[in-house]
Every structure is written in C-alpha cells, then in structure tokens.
Amino acid sequence: MIAQLRTGERQFALILSGMVALVGLAMAAVGQGDPMGAHGWIVLLFAGVVFCLLLRSLEDPEPSEDRTAVYYDDPTKVGILISLFWAVVAMGMGVWVASQLAWPDLRFDAAWSSFGRIRPVHTSGVIFGFGGNALIATSFHVMQRTSRARLAGQISPWFVLLGFNLFCIVAASGYLMGVTQSKEYAEPEWYADIWLVIVWVTYFTLYIRTLARRNEPHIYVANWYYLAFILVMAILHIVNNLAIPASFTGAKSYSAFSGVQDAMIQWWYGHNAVAFFLTAGFLGMLYYFLPKRAERPIYSYRLSILSFWGIVFFYIWVGSHHLHYTALPQWVQTLGMTFSVMLLIPSWASAGNALMTLNGAWHKVRDDAVLRFMMVAAVFYGLSTFEGSFMAVRAVNSLSHYTDWTVGHVHSGAMGWVAMIVFGSIYAVVPLLWRKETMYSWKLVEWHFWLALAGTVVYVFAMWNSGITQGLMWRTYTESGTLAYSFTDTLVAMHPYYIARAFGGALFLTGAILCAINVVMTIRRVPERVPELDHPTSSEAGEPAVPAGE
Amino acid sequence: MGKLPQINATRVNLTLRRIEIRPAAADADLEGILTVLSQIGHPATLIETADMQDAGTDIAGNALLRAMAVAGFGAMNVMLMSVSVWAGAEAPMRDVFHVLSAMIAVPVVVFSGRFFLISAWGALRGGHVNMDVPITLALILALGLSLFETLRGGEEVFFDAALTLTFFLLIGRYLDHRMRRRARSAMAGLSRLTVKNALQVCPDGQVRSVAAEDITPEMVLRIPAGERMPVDVRILRGATDLDRALVTGESLPVSAGPGAEIEAGAMNLTGPVDVIALRAMSESFVADMSRMLATAEEGRGRYVRIADRAARLYVPVIHILAAVTFVGWYFATGDWQRSAFIAISVLIVTCPCALALAVPVAHVVAAGRLMREGILLKDGSALERLAQVDHAAFDKTGTLTTDTVMLRANLPDDAVTIAVLATLAGHSAHPAATAIARGLPPATTVLHDITETPGHGVEGRLADGRAVRLGRASWVGAIASADCNGEGPAFAIEGKPMVRIPLGESLREGAEAAVSALRTCGIGCEILSGDTEGPVARIALQLGGLPYAHGLSPAGKVARLRSFEGDGQRVLMVGDGLNDTPALAAAHVSISPASATDAGRAAADFVFLGASLAAVPVALRLARRTARVVRQNFGLAIVYNCIAVPLAMAGHVTPLIAAIAMSASSVLVVANSLRLNRGGDTVAPAVRKWNPTGEVPA
Amino acid sequence: MNVLIVLIPVSLAMGIVGVAAFLWSLRAEQYEDLSGDAERILYAEDRPISSKKSEPAQRKKETPP
C-alpha cells in the first residue's frame, strides 16, 4: 500500500507521523501521573508504528501506472477491515457489559473493568469505531464511484482514517482509565476532541475537493447525505465539547455550560448525532448500495432529495425530547416533541423509498442474503423512527424515560438499521474492491443474517418487556400514595431480561465474528477474477446467492 | 455512443428523453449518428433547440424556486419559534421569539413575496383586480399587525401564517409557471420551412443567387432536385416529380411538366426545372399559411383557463367577506385591533393556496405521466381542452398512414419478371420505386444502361438487349406490347404486356385500435385529407368506415373545423404536415406525431414520440381523469373554505389553526393530484421503456 | 434558557448554510434529469472518466420511449 505512494508523499507522511509522535511524547512528559500521560504514550506508540512502516518501505519503487485512471481503494479496504475489527471488539464489550448487569461479579473487582468504564467503550466503539470507520470507508468508495473521479488526495485519506482511529483508541483507553466528560457519545476529553476536529476538517476538505474535481456533473444524492453527516457532526462536536481544561497537563476539563443549559446542549448534540451520524450518514450508504445490489434505480429519486432536505431541516430541534420531565422548561420540551413527530414524515419517506425500490426484486431479496440485510435495515429504520417519534411524546415518555425501553429503542436502531446496512454494504463491496469472484462462503452470510436478525429481535423484545415493566413498577402507588415497589424490587424483576439481553447481544456478536472471518477468508483464499469493467457490482454475475446443494 | 470516433462527448437525460451529442467536427454526419442510435435500439428524432422552449435556462422559474426555498427556510424557523410560544414560553422569552420571528419574516416575505406584490400592484394600476390582490393584502396586513403586536408586547402574532402562506403560494406559482412555459407560438416553426435563397436565371442567361424575399413575379428561377419551391411557380422547362405531401397531403409524388403550377413548399424530387415565379413570397402558400395560423392562434388565446375563471369568482367574494367580518366585529366589540385580527385571519385562512394549487399540481402530475408514456404536453390549458373534446379529425398522410407500400395484387407470378422489377426499382430514388423495391425480395438480375428520366421513370436493358421500363404509364407503354388501365406506376419488359403496380399506404401502428378506442369513448372520428379520393376512401374503409373529406386545402380543413365549432362541437385535430398547421392551431385541441414537420409539431398542443397512434386515446383518457381530479381539488378547496371561513369569521381561528389548516388543505390537494400517477393506461407494448440493465420490465 | 443564545444562532446559521447549499444545487442544474441520475450508478463503469473538454452542445435529439 505504501508502494502506491510517491516518494514525496511518503516523506510528507513521515513528517506528519513524526509530528504526531512528538505531540505524543510531549503529552507523555507533561502529563506524567495523569491519564494524559498514558495517552501520550499511546499516541507515541501509534504514530511510531506508522512512522516505522513508512520508513521501512521508503525506498520501495514508485508506482508506474497513471493514478488518475483508477480509483484509490486502499483506504477503503483498510477502513472496512478496521471497522470489522471494532465491530468484534466493541460488540464483545457490549456483551460483557450487558452480562455484568445480570452477573455483577463479571467485574472481577478491578477499576478498569467496572460497568461505568466499559460501557462507553462499547458505545463509542460501536458508534465511532464500527460505524464511523464504515462511514469513512464507504464514503470514500461512493464519492469516487459517483463522481467518476479519483480521491483528491493521497495522504489525506490515510490521515483521516488513521487519525480517526487514533481518536477512537484514545477514547477507549481513556474510558478504561476513568477519563470521561460524562456526556453521552461525547465522553472523550479536550485533547482528543481537538484532534478529532483536525481530522474531521481534513475529511470535509477531502470530500469537497473530490466533488469539485468530479467528471460526472451530477452529485448523486448519497453524497449529500454523507456531506450533511460530516458538516453537521463537526459543528455539533465543537459546540458540545466547548470546555476549559483544568490544566494543560491533565485530562480533566470543565464544560463551558452548566446545569440544565449544559443538558440541553448535550442532548441537542446527542440527538443530532443520532440524526446525522447514525441516520444521514448511513442513509447515504443505503441510497448507494441498495440500488446497486438490487440492480434497480431508486424508486423515486425526487423523494430521496425531498427527504434529505426534510431531515436536514426537521432534525435540528428534536433533541429536547431527551429531557422530558427534567428541569428543562416545558415549552422547550414541547418544541422537541413537536418536531420529533414531524420528523416521521421524511424518515418514512426514505424507508418507503428504499422498500419500493425493491418492488419487482423481491425474489432477489429471498435469494440474496446481502440484499436481505439491506431490506431488513430499511424496515428497522422505519420501525425505529416510528418508535422514536412515539416515545418523544411526553405522555409516552412519562412511562419510558430512564427505562430499558430507551435502550431497546437505541438498539433496534443500532442493530436493526445501522449494523445491518453496514454488513450488507460490506458484503456487497468486498468482492468488488478485492477483485474476487465471490465471497468466501455464502452460507456464512446466511448464518450471519439469521444470527443478526435473531439477536436483534431477542434483544429488542427483551428490552420492550423490561422497559415497560420498569416503567410500570416505578409508577405504581399504594393506596396510601407511596411507591409500591422499591428500586431493588425492580432490579430483581429485570434479571431474566438482562440475561436475555446479553444473549441477544451474543448472537449478534457471533454474526459479526462470522462476517470478519468471511471477509478475511475472502481476501486470502478466493481467486481473483478478471475485472468486468462494464458490470462492476452484480449479485448474480457468477455468485449464486445460496450455492446449490448446501 | 461516446465510443464512436466522430463523437466527442454525449450526455443522456432520461427524464426528458434526450441525448445531447457533441460531434467532433462541426459538419458531423447527423444521419449516420441517427442510424447508429436506431441500431442500438433507440430511434431518435432531431430537435432544434428552439423547438423546446425549456432548453434555455428558465430564469423566471429559477427565481421562483429560489424564493420558494428561502420562504420554506423562513417558515420552518419561524414555525419552530411559534411552536415554542404556543407551548407556553413565558412572556420575556415569548417577546424575544416574536422579535426574532419579525427579523426573519419581514425580509423573507419581501424577498419571496415580491412576485405577488408586483403583480397585484400592476393589476390595481390597470384598474382591475387579480388573485394576487387579496394575497398581497393578507400578507401586508398580517405582517403589519404582527409587527405592531411585537412592539406592543402582545401575545399573538401571525408571522408564521404569513410565511407559510407565501411558501405554499409560491409552490403553486412555480408549478403553474412550469406548465405555461411550454406554450408558445408555432410561427417560429413555420418560418423555418421557408426557403432562404434561390437561383435566379437572368435574362442574359447568367445564374445568380437571390434572396427569397426579393423574388418578384415573372422572375425565372432554377430549382435543382432536392430543393423546395420558394414561391408559387409555374414550370417553364424540364419535367420532374414533386413531393407535395407536405403541402396537399397527396400520398404519391406527382409528375409535372411545363405549364404545371406548383405551390411554394413543394419538394422537387428528381430533375432540375426552370420555373417562372407567379407571386412574391409574401403572397405565396407559406405566407398564406402563416396568416391563417396567426388568426387561429389568436382565437386560441381567448380560451380562459379554469383557474382564471375560479380566480375571478374568488377575489371579490373574499374581499367582501373580510370587510364584512371587520365591520361586524367592530360594531360588536369596538376593539379595532381584534376586529382587524379576525378579518385578517379570514383572509389568510381561506387559503388561496389550495385554490392556487388545485390546477397546476394536477397538470404537472399529468404532464409527468404523459411524458412517461412518450407524450409531450406543450400547454397546460391543452389538457383542459382535450378533456372537453367530443369529435376527432384525422389527417391522412403521415398521420394515419406511414410509408407507401406496395399492394401485392395483380403482380405477375413469374419470378424472373419480379426479379427484374425489383432490380430496376432498386435503382431509383423515387419514393414509388423505393416502395416497390422494399416490398420485393432482393434482386440479383443484371441490368445494363440504367437511366432515370425525370418526370417519366427509370429504364434499363436486360442481358439479351431488351429494354425494361418502370414509371409513367404513357412512357412505359412505348415499349410494352399492350397497355393496361389501372392505378399506380407501370412496368413492362420490351415486347411484353404492361403491368400496373397499385401502391397503397400502410396504416400507422395502432391506428385501428386508436380509432376504435376513441369511438368507445364517445368521440366521433373522421378523416380530413388533401389527397385524392381513392387513397382516402381506402383508408377510411380500413379503419371501419369513417366519414371522410378529400382534396381539402389547408383553408378547407380550417373551414371544416370551424363548421364543427359552429355546431357547438369541440374537435381534436390529429395531423402532421405543413398543410395541417392552420388546422392544428384552429382546432379546439391538437396532437401530432414526432415525425411531423417542424411547423406541425410546433402548432400542435401535444406531440407523441412513439410510432403508435395509441397515444391519442391514452392522452384523451388521462385528460379526462385530470379534469376530474381538478374538479375534485376545487371541491376540496371549497369544502375546506366552507368550514374554515365561518370559523374564522366567528373569531375561532388562531395563528396556529390557520397555519395547520393551510398546510393541511394544500397537502390534501397535492395528494389527490398525485393519484393521477397511478392507474390509467399506457401506450405500451408499442412503446419500449429504457432499461439499462437489459431487463424487460414486467 | 440562556443556552438558546447559543443554540438559536447556531441553528439559524446551519439553516442558512442549508438554504445556500440548496440554492447552489439549483443553479448547478443538479435536478435536470432525475431519472437519469438514479439510473446512472447502475451502468457506470468501474473506473474514472478522463475529462474531455469540448464546446457547448449544438444538437439535441429526442428518443421515443
């Protein structure tokens, strides 16, 4: 891969990684005794490894072919593999942390393995590690293919990919050390946040530059979704993470906002992160890979554009529905609630559009597990957005707030929509990228699909039950007006559901592991095919969805 | 297509079904490109960019879209502030929101609403009112009162209502603009058919070029083969065959010799002729056509669209209601502010939006549906007019019929004779000869000394020295042993009896089905043709015995259409040629195939791109469905108004309710119109749908 | 709700960026051919186009469906 770079580029990369290593060294020195110091060593190690890899291949011969005549797929390929790595690790953490709820002794009495510390490793790991890498990798793929132009940079894609993963590593290691801002999905501390801004600005610039040099005048709708994801996340991240470090030698910082004001900012961020990271970004994936795999154009292109603008304008104000029945003023809560309900329209427009695209291709959905992943993802997207709008209504929220139902909602979206569309897209794009005839095993893909679906259903049903049970128990009063159940009573009632939850997650994790194995075996074992330039992605060209006789 | 060497770049637009080709050289072989397109399964017709007026950038339309986007953005943001206030934000917060809303609303309404303001002002200055007057009134009053309330610290403001109103109205306006843009005059198309220059033979024998406008009567001109007559002429010298189909609709070329009078626009087929000009260009045939066309279009312009008729009723009624409301409340309460509020809420809630959307949305959806069936709609009002039709008139040549083919009756069974005939026919470019050659198996006989004599025919010599002739009967008779009476070109081998080859026309694809479909819908059909009786009668018979009129001049066709009008009937004219153009414009509504002449296409209200006439009943049925939907839309708008206006007059309409009601009524109208996309029939299977993956759609 | 001093301007600014982006896309004729845009990803070859600059189009043709 390094051999794909010119000498000048390798040198530039060396300088970059050297600089990062120096920063790591500085952090290690300055932050001695503080978790920041440990982070410094991690940064130094990461940058050092990159540095050494570059150094080793510095003298390799330069690429001879005309690079503008081919797409730049190395960052995409590496991004997909990293995404799968994070999937396994972070979902594993999820199973562990869910199991701790049922069996608290799984903490093994250490600080780093306590619930509060490994939980964010799971959330950040799946959202940023698994999801974020998948978005970066697929966005590189989609923007090149739809612009019919090569990525606008040689080093910047790597900077984005590796820099982003450095952020993820610093975040995860930080959590284990106890470093946290206590803001959901925004836990990493100030120096990690600054680093992410640098990486993200590079990502945005790269995207715009690639689009600017496009050879296809029309900007395909998926690019709009990706761009919205990148731009809005940048703004959200900056505003929500405005903080003053206690000192520049330590990880601790104080938020620029406080109290209920801070809560509002946090959930303005939190919900928009869901909207633009977990929804808009993955809709970009859906709008490209689903029509490609189904070999049918989007049912209504006009509708996809309309729902894009609808989502962009409706989502921003939805956040306060996380703060029903808190100190947040009533009218702000109502505002959030109103927009949450209105949001249903563009969301269902997208889900409906995706499903109508499959009209006429249902036989393919039956036979092709990859397309089935995508279809189920679209269905769960519709379900989750309905569930979300429903739960945002204050009356419903009075039952669901703080219960497991919220967790169930998150996971129906995360497992049913986000993860499934990622897996579908990965299976669709891996044979193309590595120029293989087929995936290593279609049987494994089928297994993965059913495990994922089963895991999601088990998990969500468990959480629906436990959430409603909790909610009802918490608001049951005796005749004298006191609470009928103590908190411990509710915990006891939750126990079987916690076990079911861990089990569902374990099923899902197994599926993800199968995916990782399948992809690796595909890369190593499956013979290459002669590229058919006229028909890049096809579910049926030489790839039986389910091999006969198996 | 991009792979062809003579093509630099291509771009396909699937929505408009257009391919844009940049040839490598300025004089690229267009015919060759068209052939390749047809070979890969996508036959195409050339269009001049002036044909489709939507070729250039739609400045006005883009201005409307921009205003719409800004209005939408403004409406959204003010709406969210309004929701906060309605949800119970306390007084100081509420005042902040009001100020913010004002800061957004005022510039946005001025920028986005300027179309209504300008139009209303223009109307008032001209001394009458149009739909935009109450709208502008509502906007200004709403803004004014809301600003007053904001400054006063009041509780209710109407900013969101004003913005939402602007937004929805702009949508209607934009759709309407899209529809009207397509209508334009056919004059441009006609002028392109006139010849620009001609060759003049001067008294001293010199030949020089002269501009067509400068041709005076008695001037002698030389018209080479392949050129059109620039003015009405009489042949002096030479004989040739002329294609008068465009002019008169005659199906077969006509031979003409010295002394024959020919109209401007006829195409000289086979041999050069010297002619003497009879009239100047301004008095020639084409000019006559232009004048008839202009008169016809003027008549068309008097048709008042449904939307405009509705507006005429709506405007005075709404003003009166608002005024009555104000006066009534003022007398009841003495509180002018509250009265003004309620009067404004009446103005706003009656929502011109649903009314403004009722027609354009339905038309736009219908136009899109038509486009998918390969039917181009050129004028929004045409849909309305098509729905009213109760009679249809068809031109024959080029409309009901396509190429000339050969009738196979009476051909000698002798294979050798057939082969000779085929060979001889293959050597002439005369349309009759090519029709014969097409209808026979490919020939292999060797013929020597093949020559074509303009005005007479083509001849050659067999290997054994015998002459063979194909062409005019009198000329062929010179070598035949016996004459033969009958129709069509004559053929003879020297010494043998003459044979006549009767030629007939082939019906256009879908013609029979179309005519019977129209009759089932209760539309009477007839044929109006300029051709001689024989061919016309044959076609009329083939189509199930239609009434017909033959030998009609363009003025004659127009006269026939006018007589229908006099009887109160509304006629759909289906035609293609130059001789139909005034008729296409004079009919209540018209449709022509894409293979028509420029002028024909330009004059017609609808153009169908495929080959099949099935497009005509499809368009008609869709027009009727559209008219039903428009009536339903109006019904919905009226019902809505009947509910909303009394509520508003009673003072029950708050800004919140007004905004919701407006949105709901507009959405309902749009949703109802979208039904036009489903159901209905298609022009398929004659029409093939574009599918890049090669699958045949189910 | 002091935080609205921050949130409202930020959201308005993002909204304005959104409107500007929409207006740009209108001007850049991104909505001229929605059917073609949806189909194009399906038949595009898997390599970049080398850009050939040529003069504006002189001819347009219409294909029957």
- In the numeric block, which tokens belong to residue B210? 């002269």
Average pLDDT, chain A: 90
Inform me whether the pLDDT recorded for A343 exceeds 90.
no
Q: Which residue of A has its CA nearest to B694?
A: A295
pLDDT tens sequence across A198-250: 999 999 999 999 999 998 899 999 999 999 999 999 999 999 999 999 988 88
Find the mean pLDDT for residues B604-609: 83
B300 pLDDT tier (thresholds 50, 70, 90): low
B425 pLDDT tier (thresholds 50, 70, 90): confident
What value of ipTM does the predicted structure carry? 0.82
Inform me whether the pLDDT recorded for B532 exceeds 50.
yes
Q: Give the pLDDT score at A223.
A: 95
Angle at which helices A487-525 and A442-474 cross, to 10°: 170
Find the mean pLDDT for residues B242-262: 75
How far apart (Å, rounded) are the C-alpha atoms in residues B346 and C11? 33
Please answer whether residues B488 and B501 qualify as being in contact, where contact means their C-beta atoms are separated by less than 8 angstroms.
Answer: yes
Say whether domain B195-229+231-283 belongs to CATH 2.70.150.10. yes
How far B159 CA lies from chain A's nearest CA (Å)?
17
Please answer whether residues B75 and B163 qualify as being in contact, where contact means their C-beta atoms are separated by less than 8 angstroms.
Answer: yes
How far A107 CA lies from chain B's nearest CA (Å)?
46
Neighbours of C, requiring at least 3 CB pairs below 8 Å, are A, B
Share of residues in chain A with pLDDT > 90 (%): 73
B187: left (phi over 0), alpha (psi -120 to 50) or beta: alpha
Q: Give the pLDDT score at B195.
A: 64
Strand order in the sheet with B457-461: B448-453, B457-461, B467-471, B490-493, B499-500
Q: Give the pLDDT score at B181.
A: 59
How far C3 CA lies from chain B's nearest CA (Å)?
12
Shared domain for A101 and A2, answered yes or no, is no
Find the mean pLDDT for residues B73-96: 83
Count how many Cα atoms sit within 13 Å of the Cα of residue A275 in the half-sphere of its side chain: 31
- In the numeric block, which tokens belong to residue B687? 């029409």
- CATH, residue A437: 1.20.210.10
Shared domain for A436 and A499, answered yes or no, is yes
Shared domain for A217 and A328, answered yes or no, is yes
| Cβ–Cβ below 8 Å for C62 and B47 | yes
| Cβ–Cβ below 8 Å for B66 and C32 | no
pLDDT tens sequence across A157-178: 999 999 999 999 999 999 999 9
Mark out chain C residues that contact chain A at CB-CB < 8 A. 1-3, 6-7, 10-11, 14-15, 17-18, 22, 25, 28-31, 33-51
Helix (H, G, I), strand (E, B) or coil at B139: helix
Judging contacts by C-beta atoms under 8 Å, the chain B residues touching residue A332 are 84
Q: Give the pLDDT score at A470.
A: 93
Q: Give the pLDDT score at C62.
A: 46
Does the residue A549 lie in any domain?
Answer: no
Inform me whether the pLDDT recorded for B243 exceeds 70.
yes
How far A435 CA lies from chain C's nearest CA (Å)?
11
Q: Give the pLDDT score at A533.
A: 52
How far B548 CA lies from chain C's nearest CA (Å)?
30
Shared domain for A361 and A484, answered yes or no, is yes
Q: Does B85 touch chain A (CB under 8 A)?
A: yes
Q: Flag the least confident range among A282-286, B121-125, B180-184.
A: B180-184
| Cβ–Cβ below 8 Å for A291 and C7 | no
pLDDT tens sequence across A18-40: 999 999 999 999 988 899 999 99
Return the ∠ at Cα A174 (arms to A170 and A178), rounded to 5°.
175
| Cβ–Cβ below 8 Å for B87 and A338 | yes
How far apart (Å, rounded) are the C-alpha atoms in residues B100 and C9? 10
Neighbours of A, requiring at least 3 CB pairs below 8 Å, are B, C
- In the numeric block, which tokens belong to residue B131? 């739909």
Judging contacts by C-beta atoms under 8 Å, the chain C residues touching residue B69 are 19, 22-23, 26
* Neighbour tally for B627: CB within 10 Å: 19
Inform me whether the pLDDT recorded for B686 exceeds 60.
no
- In the numeric block, which tokens belong to residue B115? 């179309």
Q: Give the pLDDT score at B290.
A: 66
pLDDT tens sequence across B110-130: 999 998 899 888 888 887 777
Q: Give the pLDDT score at A510.
A: 97
Q: Give the pLDDT score at B698.
A: 37
| Cβ–Cβ below 8 Å for C62 and B594 | yes
Inform me whether the pLDDT recorded for B680 exceeds 80.
no
How far apart (Å, rounded) are the C-alpha atoms in residues A97 and A116? 9
Does the residue A325 lie in any domain?
Answer: yes
Most confident residue range from A503-517, B62-76, B213-227, B658-672? A503-517
Shared domain for A436 and A519, answered yes or no, is yes
For chain C, what's the residue count? 65
Boundary-marking domain end, from A60, A89, A111: A60
Q: Give the pLDDT score at A532.
A: 55
Judging contacts by C-beta atoms under 8 Å, the chain A residues touching residue B93 are 331
Inform me whether the pLDDT recorded for B189 exceeds 60.
no
Q: Give the pLDDT score at C49.
A: 83
Average pLDDT, chain B: 78
How far apart (Å, rounded) are the C-alpha atoms in residues B491 and B486? 12
Does the residue A538 lie in any domain?
Answer: no
Q: Give the pLDDT score at B466.
A: 86
Q: Give the pLDDT score at A541.
A: 41
Find the mean pLDDT for residues B290-309: 63
Q: Give the pLDDT score at C57.
A: 38
Q: Which helix (H) or strand (E) holds B572?
A: strand B571-574
Q: Which homologous superfamily does the CATH classification assign to the domain defined by B408-501? A: Calcium-transporting ATPase, cytoplasmic domain N (3.40.1110.10)
| Cβ–Cβ below 8 Å for B62 and C35 | no
Judging contacts by C-beta atoms under 8 Å, the chain A residues touching residue B90 are 329
Judging contacts by C-beta atoms under 8 Å, the chain B residues touching residue A338 are 83, 87
| Cβ–Cβ below 8 Å for C49 and A149 | yes
pLDDT tens sequence across C5-63: 888 888 888 888 988 998 898 888 888 788 888 888 898 888 888 754 433 333 444 44
How far out from the chain centre does Cα A257 lie?
27
Inform me whether the pLDDT recorded for B228 exceeds 60.
yes
Does the residue A433 lie in any domain?
Answer: yes
Query: What pTM does this model have?
Result: 0.76
Mark out chain A residues that contact chain B at CB-CB < 8 A. 217, 295, 313-314, 317, 329-335, 338-339, 360
| Cβ–Cβ below 8 Å for B17 and C63 | yes
User: Active-site residue numbers of B?
Assistant: 395
Q: What are phi and psi of A374, to 5 degrees?
A: -70, -40
How far apart (Å, rounded) are the C-alpha atoms in residues A225 and A243? 29
Q: Give the pLDDT score at A539.
A: 41
Nearest to C2 among A148, A261, A328 (CB): A261
B697 pLDDT tier (thresholds 50, 70, 90): very low
Q: Does B9 touch chain A (CB under 8 A)?
A: no
Find the mean pLDDT for residues A262-291: 92
Inform me whether the pLDDT recorded for A444 exceeds 90.
yes
Q: Give the pLDDT score at B408.
A: 62
Boundary-marking domain end, from A60, A87, A102: A60
Q: Which domain holds residue A7?
A: 1-60
Q: Flag the least confident range among A523-532, B173-182, B609-618.
A: B173-182
| Cβ–Cβ below 8 Å for C49 and A148 | yes
Q: Which residue of C has its CA nearest to A218?
A: C30
| Cβ–Cβ below 8 Å for A295 and B693 | yes
Judging contacts by C-beta atoms under 8 Å, the chain C residues touching residue B45 are 61-62, 64
Shared domain for A457 and A435, answered yes or no, is yes
For chain A, what's the residue count? 550
Inform me whether the pLDDT recorded for B84 exceeds 60.
yes
Q: Give the pLDDT score at B216.
A: 85
Q: Give the pLDDT score at B46.
A: 63
Inform me whether the pLDDT recorded for B695 exceeds 50.
no
- Total domain count for chain A? 2
CA-based nearest residue to A386, from A422, A424, A350, A425: A350
Judging contacts by C-beta atoms under 8 Å, the chain A residues touching residue C3 are 257, 261-262, 264-265
Q: Give the pLDDT score at A30.
A: 92
Shared domain for A163 and A18, answered yes or no, is no
Q: Does C14 touch chain B (CB under 8 A)?
A: no
Q: Does C2 touch chain B (CB under 8 A)?
A: no
For chain B, the domains span 1-44, 59-181+303-365+623-677, 195-229+231-283, 408-501
Angle at which helices B615-649 and B655-674 cross, to 10°: 170
How far A136 CA lies from chain B's nearest CA (Å)?
29
Nearest to B62 among C26, C42, C59 (CB): C26
Q: Does C54 touch chain B (CB under 8 A)?
A: yes
How far apart (Å, rounded) are the C-alpha atoms in residues B201 and B218? 11
pLDDT tens sequence across A300-338: 898 999 899 888 877 777 777 888 888 888 888 888 888
Judging contacts by C-beta atoms under 8 Å, the chain C residues touching residue B689 are 65
Shared domain for A51 and A78, answered yes or no, is no
Inform me whether the pLDDT recorded for B626 exceeds 60.
yes
Q: Which residue of C has its CA nearest to B692?
A: C43
Shared domain for A36 and A160, answered yes or no, is no
| Cβ–Cβ below 8 Å for C64 and B69 | no
Find the mean pLDDT for residues B76-86: 82
Does the residue A531 lie in any domain?
Answer: no
